[in-house]
Structure 1
Amino acid sequence: MTTPWGNPHFDEHEAVHFVTDRASGLKAIIALHSTALGPAAGGTRFWHYADEGMALSDVLRLSRGMSYKNAMAGLPLGGGKAVILADKDRSKSDAMIAAFGRAVNRLGGHYVTAEDVGITVEDMILVNRETDHVAGLPVEDGAEVGGDPGPHTARGVYLGLKSAVKRALGREDLSGVHVAIQGAGSVASHLARRLAADGAKLSIADVNVERVEAVAAETGATIVDPAHILFIDADVVSPCALGAILTEDSIANLNTGIIAGAANNQLATPGDGQRLAARGILYAPDYVINAGGIINVSTEYLADGGADLVRQRIDAIPGRLERIWNEAASSGRDPASVADAMAQALIGR
């Protein structure tokens, strides 16, 4: 495996932990990018990677994104991420998840985990049996925050998308606005319901046929081939699946004026933000618009407020995007570069 220092996505990460547990078959990587603002917080991804180098690149990129996300959301948290390397069959056992929980616990609170792709609330319950450094647990009777972060992420993306439509299209409402959604998972499905309720025209794609058919039946969305969803003629393209989908080639073939979605690390390289701006496409930096989930679970973990505080923090997302877009317009830089500079200043880099 390429060492962290030799990986192009290594960004002076404070620590990278490689975890193995022979008995359960666990192989995982936990990356702590920054703890300048607080414990490194970020979810755990359960995914099959083509090779271990790709897993390392993913966790390095994701943990850096969490540092930026938490800083820009005004949370007293640093950035971290974990990936559990799944086999081709994506076999997962309680023993494996418990072993991962013990690995998190050995970090003594420097890393706080939660759900991500391939990990469920039920998995977090198992992790919580081994460590207290976990969020996104089921909501108990009377609790105001916690549970599935998906609806909160979707709400932030919805509010940010509306702000982008207002700025780029001059529209105060979403009636008839065509939104192409890549993905039909938890966040994408909640987003689709909100957009449909506002009268938006939806196109949607997902490799999971049953899942995308269910969302389409509920929202009236048109199902599109996953290979084409990014490139259809739409007012907004909303990436809500995996990252690194905005590349030099894909950007050249976009037929939209707005990119606003929930996926992490949408830009394959830093230069792709400049390519979007050169084409006149308004980009909502992913770690700013998709912060609703971490806002919810962090409020649960920090116990610093209730549902009202979560709503207030998520409601601040459009204003934060407006500041980024205004700075980009006045400086001639692209929004992604502006957001990165703001986040780096907050964490002292």
Structure 2
Amino acid sequence: MTTDTAELTAIDTSPGVFDRPDFADDVPHEQVVFCRDPKTGLKAIIALHSTTLGPALGGTRFYPYRDEQAAVTDVLRLSRGMTYKAAAAGLHLGGGKAVLIGDPDQVKTPALLEAYGRFVDTLGGRYITAGDVGTTSDDMDIIGRTTRHVVARTPAAGGSGDSAPLTAQGVFYSIVAAAESVWGSNDLTGRRVGVEGTGKVGYNLIALLTEAGATVTATDVNAAALQRVSTAFPHVAVADTVIDTDIDIYAPCAMGATLTDATVRTMDAAVICGAANNQLAQPAVEELLRERGIVWVPDFVSNSGGLIQVAGEIENKSRDEVRAQVEQVGVTVSRILERQHEQGVLAGQAAHAIVRERLGAVAQP
């Protein structure tokens, strides 16, 4: 049976892995692996964007994607972001990511995680996995039964544990650096911060912000997560939304793509800095941010604390050494914002330039 080109074109209209228009100016992915285990119900995709600087490291996201195409798009964007994150943080790691398709509350089992670990192991160390949305350090322990290429396991299993606290620490240092750039002071006392997403990272960030004297408003689609915040931090306000409210700093710490033309046009915040990945719905949104005088800290820089932690695990660094390296995230943000101001470029362009310089230097013979 034959199928003509016109029929194929009509059937396959959504972007796949190759020649994606959203990655037109980027280095293509090195490898994308689709994994399925009928016995456990595992459906996973592992994407390796770059191993130029070292093995591709990135977390495993377990999420009920609406369809396979949404999962492909997410894993490609996330793995690409990990390459930039590792390079900007000065790590000897490349960028990778994995997604497991399904509701973790419904389908996650030890057998499924072990099956996934076996697929990770087939890559021979080119990909090292860790926790992400929908997975925990306990899950990494289970994955570790079938592959040694896993980090962020529990301390009892020899790992460094949950990376959320140090991810939040890196975001906090980034906010401080941005505040210094915008207001000439790193004092957050009285600054109004809207934290969107109060999961593991958002919760830890709220603790740091309140300790620094900021006035925090929090929002989350998960009522239990918001209740946890209200119990621990009675002075934190709870709202249905924060992105379009009267705040100084917007800290997106949930899912990405919240920065759209529409949301940016109604935003009052002067600074955007958070832990969410892929915050810009489209690259062009950053130009609108500049037009409105809003300083955006590229997410692959601000949220690199967790990656720094697990990189330290690989290199057997002490906790103090890792914390000192996380503090440097704020220094990197300052460099980016200085370059943005001096060269008249976007913050994203300044950050990408730093990454390309490092990738290019390593790629030289």
TM-score w.r.t. length of structure 2: 0.91
- Hey, what does 2:279 align to over in structure 1? 266
Structure having the higher Rg: 2
Cα shift at 1:162: 1.2
Flag structure 2 segments of 5+ consecutive residues without an equivalent: 1-11
- Hey, what does 1:209 align to over in structure 2? 223
CA contact (8 A) 1:9 1:57 kept: no
The answer to whether the aligner puts 1:320 opposite 2:335 as a matched pair is no
Check 1:86–1:8 CA distance in 2 against 1; reply closer, same or farther (3 A cut): farther
- Hey, what does 1:23 align to over in structure 2? 39
Check 1:94–1:216 CA distance in 2 against 1; reply closer, same or farther (3 A cut): same
SS of the counterpart of 2:332? helix
CA contact (8 A) 2:181 2:337 kept: no
- Hey, what does 2:74 align to over in structure 1? 58
Residues 43-98 of structure 1: CA deviation (Å, up to 9, x unaligned): 00000111111110000000000000000101000000000001596421111111
CA contact (8 A) 1:213 1:223 kept: no
Could you tell me which amino acid in structure 1 is paired with residue 140 of structure 2?
M
Q: Using the alignment, how far apart are the partners of 2:144 and 2:104 within structure 1?
A: 27
Residues 185-220 of structure 1: CA deviation (Å, up to 9, x unaligned): 001000101111122111000011011121123222
Most deviating of 52-61 and 264-273: 264-273
SS of the counterpart of 1:264? coil
SS of the counterpart of 1:96? helix
Q: Using the alignment, how far apart are the partners of 1:7 and 1:26 within structure 2?
A: 26
Q: Matched residue pairs, number?
A: 344
Q: Using the alignment, how far apart are the partners of 1:297 and 1:339 within structure 2?
A: 22
- Hey, what does 1:234 align to over in structure 2? 247
**Among candidates 306, 321, 332, match of residue 293 of structure 1:** 306
The answer to whether the aligner puts 1:247 opposite 2:263 as a matched pair is no
The answer to whether the aligner puts 1:4 opposite 2:20 as a matched pair is no
Residues 253-273 of structure 1: CA deviation (Å, up to 9, x unaligned): 111000010111111121122
The answer to whether the aligner puts 1:76 opposite 2:92 as a matched pair is yes
The answer to whether the aligner puts 1:48 opposite 2:34 as a matched pair is no
CA contact (8 A) 2:258 2:279 kept: yes
Flag structure 1 segments of 5+ consecutive residues without an equivalent: none
Cα shift at 1:124: 0.4
Most deviating of 15-24 and 154-163: 154-163
**Among candidates 171, 180, 188, match of residue 166 of structure 1:** 180
Q: Using the alignment, how far apart are the partners of 1:95 and 1:256 within structure 2?
A: 46
Q: Using the alignment, how far apart are the partners of 2:236 and 2:210 within structure 1?
A: 8
* Same amino acid, percent of matched pairs: 42
- Hey, what does 1:176 align to over in structure 2? 190
Most deviating of 5-14 and 242-251: 5-14
Could you tell me which amino acid in structure 2 is paired with residue 284 of structure 1?
V
- Hey, what does 1:221 align to over in structure 2? 236
CA-based RMSD of the aligned residues comes to 1.7
- Hey, what does 2:7 align to over in structure 1? none
**Among candidates 327, 331, 336, match of residue 343 of structure 2:** 331
The answer to whether the aligner puts 1:193 opposite 2:190 as a matched pair is no
TM-score w.r.t. length of structure 1: 0.95
Q: Using the alignment, how far apart are the partners of 2:194 and 2:286 within structure 1?
A: 20
CA contact (8 A) 2:62 2:103 kept: no
Could you tell me which amino acid in structure 2 is paired with residue 316 of structure 1?
Q
The answer to whether the aligner puts 1:139 opposite 2:155 as a matched pair is yes
Could you tell me which amino acid in structure 1 is paired with residue 128 of structure 2?
V
